[in-house]
Amino acid sequence: MKEPKLGTALSSEDFKKKRVFTTSYKPKAEYAWDTGFAIGHYLEGLKEGKLLARSCKKCGRILIPPRAFCELCFRPTDDWIELEHTGTINTFSLCYITWDMRKLTDPVIPSVIEIDGATEGCGIMHMIGGVDPKAIQVGMKVEAVWKPADEREGSITDIKHWRPIL
Amino acid sequence: MTGNVAIIGCGYSPVRVTTPEVSYRELTFEAASRAYADAHISHEEIQALVCCEEDFFEGVSISDEYTPDQMGCVLRPVETVTGDGLHGVGVATMIIQTGEIDIVAVEAHSKASNILTFDHITEYALDPIWNRPLGFHPEFVAGLEMNCFLNESGLSVADCDVIAAKNRRNALLNPIAAYPARLSADDIANSPDLCTPLRQGHVAQRADGVVVLVLASEKLAKKAERPVWIRGTGWANESPTLESRPWGEDAATKAAATIAYKEAGIKSPSKEIDRFEVDDLYAYREAMALTALDAGKVGDRVNLSGGSIGMGHTLDAIGLYRTAMCVEAIRNGDAKTALAHSWRGVPTTSVALSIFSVNHG
Amino acid sequence: MGKRVAVVGAGITKFVRRAQETPPELCWAAASQALESAGMSFDDIDCVIHGTAPDAFDGVHMKGEYLSAGSGAWRKPYTRTYVGGGTGVYAPIHAWKHLASGKFRTALVVCEEKMSSCQPHPQGAFITIFDHTTERALGPNLLWIFALEQQRYMAVHGITNEEIARVAVKNKHNAMGHPSAQLGAELTVDEVLESEIMAYPVHRLMVSPTSDGAAAVIMTNEDVAKSVTDQPVWVDGVGWALDTAFWTNRDLYYPRYVEKAAWMAYNMAGIKNPAEEISFAEPYDPFCYKELHHLEGLQLAPKGQAPKLLAEGYFDRDGKLPSCPSGGLLGVGNPIAAAGMMKICELFWQLRGEAGERQIKKDLRWGVAQAWGDLMQVGTVVVMGRDG
């Protein structure tokens, strides 16, 4: 191979001290997504303090997040199933950075939680809280901690977090 | 080696201004179910999938993440092309012609109704250094192009009024169209100016919809009920830089048509093609496309579906709606050979087209 | 069957944290160098393929259009293909279709990313890959999903962070020999584990950087290849697979989508025993553990065993099956699509004996490049080789 062609490095100082010309722009990108049948009901369920799944009678799976069609059997799903508010930690992480790269002293704890009553391995992403981060293990049993009914909006954050069952 | 490829299945949702009761995934599941039923196959028989979408239309980065499930294509070879559905048809045809894969699905959708700041997003496609700082509404690009094209071609604004009215009226006979209306050229002429000479009545309005096609190799297509053969495909780009473009002509369509016509063995398009479904995002673009396609005098064989102006502009799905209309015309015996063509809108120069026929080569 | 397809030229820019060049200029640099290296000109190219990942980084909607002229697509057939992080290895697969079908004879394949445009930090754009209704409200960042997967991989197999940290040591060392490298360095396992914890179990030195850069190759059918060079590198196997978007319904300990794509490519190339027949590999390594995860998916190590083999030197550049001899994303840099293409370029240069300081000393017959993308979903695999 030859020497790479271009790719001239600039430093962040070059920008701050305006040694290079720049142009900036803030995009205005706003959307209102139709939640549709499945997720629409899921969110309504969350507002009512329920965790809803959909069943597919053909493969026998009970699916959360719920979907209007089974992606493996390729047919409409059949029934709404209300699940328990408990589950098992499939995996987790202690994160010391926010989504926009600011540092945190106390970590936020994302996790994949397999929900009891759903097909094995069917989980949702949510947060762990109310526990010393060092104590968390894969395989721990957890339960949902909900916001009070008058604070719930029909959002995934209607569940505040999940904490270990003592 | 190039081999014959046919469309053996076609499914779509009716074009609608809004579709609030379903998510786009649910809408796609419906269109795919129809397409697979039409092709008499199960979802498991799809061997590869080509989806056509753009992140900023979806409001999702890496939007291809969300493509396989509603098509029944989990763990299959699935890709996304940032192009019109007709780019997808070109790509799917090549996949089959490699000889490695026999059945490919093509999908494109629009949930334009969910995009609240569409014009801002179009501006986001302009060159950030040279064009955005001017602060014009992005449709100024179409106004400039229309002005130059009318000057060079000798066509008039009134001719464009006629085109727009025709397409709205043609939509009256198309049950899936979203904007059918019994309008006259005068009605269009009386619509407000946007970026002159462009009038509001010349501009296709947005709508929601999904189209799914199933393409198959010759050996499988020969067993299908009503295969529609893909005789030629072509696509091309001109300069993305506004300042370097030839404004009065559609050089990209000319380049794409050269490839497709050669493949299809077409020497005299207006004689050999019975039906044209060509880009009309802006009414003048229909005339510009026909010139570039060397089909200037085809009269009433153009955009019988209503085009984008009559059906609705379904973003990158529009090429597949045009294809679906061609497929139905050929299956009904209303046409033997048909051409579908798309442009991806301001500020792009991307075009793609395909030629379909009841006969294979 | 289709026509045989070869890579006949390659070009690359430096990979840097922030480049002065605009995105189209980066494309042009790599594309023009690729043409020069093949002794071909713009007029010789029948079609152009571009690969680039999210528009949100370069900051242009329909980014493929903006990059088209810089990629050589003026008045030519042009498509941009996009499968997230898998794009850089998918772009040559996309080109393969254009050529093996017989529709075109020559293709210019360009991959570019300019992540530095995104302010205040490119990482912030990644929140938009998550489900807009069921996930974004939790404030996720990209580190979450990798950390969750690394944790699962470690938990299922009992793998330690020390074993995983060795990947950074190997790749940053390998990158010292790559002229484009952003992060070549001589590190120890301790230094990697002493770097700050970003999202446990992921430490800072286990993460590839955001970068700007471009890379390109020229691909042709067999007839043209033989007239352009006496050392064509054949693209004899391609594979790609996309798993369900419902990533929280899958067990992340093993990338089954990589296995699926790999067998598609191996079958096409006639490879029956990859662990024996593949001479070297460029698996995708955006995070340390990912290289190991992917080596297992590529069938080059039994499940859960890649860390042990790594510790034994099996994957070193002078080992039995060199992995990431280029230095990978961890060492060279990660301008997303360009990084995958960098791996394709590495296969090309290694198989022709042109990899300079990085040249693997043993005889090379087959190389495999692989990229990953999306929500732990996409496997894209290319097998390249020399005849005889």
| Contact map slice: A 61-100 vs C, CB within 8 A | 63, 65, 67, 71, 90-100
Q: Which of chain B's residues have a Cβ under 8 Å away from the Cβ of C22?
A: 129
Direct distance between the N- and C-terminal alpha carbons of chain A, in angstroms, rounded to an integer: 61
pLDDT in tens, A67-89: 999 999 999 999 999 999 999 99
With a CB-CB cutoff of 8 Å, which residues 53-82 of chain B face chain A? Answer: 56, 59, 68-70, 72, 74
The Cα angle at residue C153 between residues C149 and C155, in degrees rounded to 5: 115
**Which of the residues A37, A95, A109 would you substitute to probe the C interface, choosing the one with the greatest number of C C-beta atoms within 10 Å?**
A95
- Whether C142 is covered by a domain: the verdict is no
Please name the chains neighbouring B, where neighbouring means 3+ C-beta pairs under 8 angstroms. Answer: A, C
Is there a contact between C166 and C289 (Cβ–Cβ < 8 Å)? no
Return the residue of C nearest to A34 by Cα: C133
Question: Which residues of chain A neighbour C354 with C-beta distances below 8 Å?
Answer: 1
Name the maximum alpha-carbon separation found in chain A.
Answer: 66
Range of the domain at C10: 5-119+209-385
Question: Is the predicted pLDDT of residue B3 greater than 80, yes or no?
Answer: no
CA distances from B330 to A29, B5, B132, B273 (A): 41, 16, 44, 11
ipTM above 0.85, yes or no: yes
Residue C332 has pLDDT above 90, yes or no: yes
Name which of C2, C41, C331, C383 is nearest C192 in CA terms: C331
How many Å lie between the alpha carbon of B177 and the closest alpha carbon of chain C? Answer: 27
Q: B residues 2-21 near C, CB within 8 Å?
A: 2
B vs C: CB pairs below 8 A = 198
Amino acid at C214: A
Residue A161 is predicted with a pLDDT of 98
Instruction: Return mean pLDDT, chain A.
Output: 96
Q: How many domains does chain C have?
A: 1
Cβ C77 vs Cβ C109: under 8 Å: no
- The mean predicted confidence, pLDDT, of chain B is 96
Distance, CA of C147 to CA of A110 (rounded, Å): 9
**Running DSSP on this structure, what letter comes out for residue A4?**
P
Residue C388 neighbours by CB distance under 10 Å: 4
Task: Let me know if residue C333 belongs to a domain.
Answer: yes
Of B352, B99, B117, residue with least CA distance to B250: B352
State the best of A41, A69, A72 to mutate against chain B, taking most chain B CBs within 10 Å.
A69
Please judge whether B121 and A71 are an interchain contact, meaning their C-beta atoms are less than 8 angstroms apart: no
DSSP-derived secondary structure letter, C128: G
- CATH number of the domain to which C363 belongs: 3.40.47.10
User: In 3D, which of B301, B252, B246 has the Cα closest to residue B278?
Assistant: B301
Q: Flag whether C199 is in a domain.
A: no
Q: Do B114 and A38 touch (CB under 8 A)?
A: no
Q: Give the model confidence (pLDDT) of B119-160 as tens digits.
A: 999 999 999 999 999 999 999 999 999 999 999 999 999 999
Of C77, C80, C102, the CB nearest to B82: C80
For chain A, percent helix, then strand, then coil, each to nearest 5? 15, 35, 50
User: Per the CB < 8 Å rule, is C241 touching B64?
Assistant: no
pLDDT surpassing 90 at residue B53: yes
Going from N- to C-terminal start, the domains of chain B cover 5-117+207-221, 126-205+232-357
C-alpha span between B35 and B47 (Å, rounded): 15
Neighbouring-strand partners of residue C373: C378
Residue type, C130: F
Instruction: Find out whether B71 and B32 touch, Cβ atoms under 8 Å.
Output: yes
Contact A100 C123 (CB under 8 A): yes
The predicted structure's pLDDT at residue B298 = 86
CA dihedral angle for residue C367, residue C373, residue C375, residue C378, rounded to 10 degrees? -50
Cβ distance A117 to A84 under 8 Å?
yes
Average of per-residue pLDDT across B51-61: 95
CB pairs under 8 A between A and B: 79
- Answer yes or no: is C278 within a domain: yes
**CATH code for the part of the protein at B126-205+232-357:** 3.40.47.10
Same fold for the pair B5-117+207-221 and B126-205+232-357:
yes
C353 has pLDDT over 70 = yes
Option in C26, C246, C345 nearest A7 (CB): C26
Q: How many CB atoms lie within 10 A of CB B154?
A: 7
Q: How far is B118 from chain A (nearest CA, A)?
A: 8
pLDDT at B2 over 80: no
CA of C263: how far to CAs of C86, C259, C299, C383, in Å? 16, 6, 9, 11
Chain B residue with CA closest to A73: the answer is B72
The separation between the first and the last C-alpha atoms of chain B, rounded to the nearest angstrom, is 14
Chains touching chain A at 3 or more Cβ pairs under 8 angstroms? Answer: B, C
Does the structural domain B5-117+207-221 have CATH classification 3.40.47.10? yes
Binding partners of C (≥3 Cβ pairs within 8 A): A, B
Tell me whether residues A35 and B23 touch, CB distance under 8 A: yes
Mean pLDDT of B225-240: 96
Question: What pLDDT is stored for residue B1 in this prediction?
Answer: 41
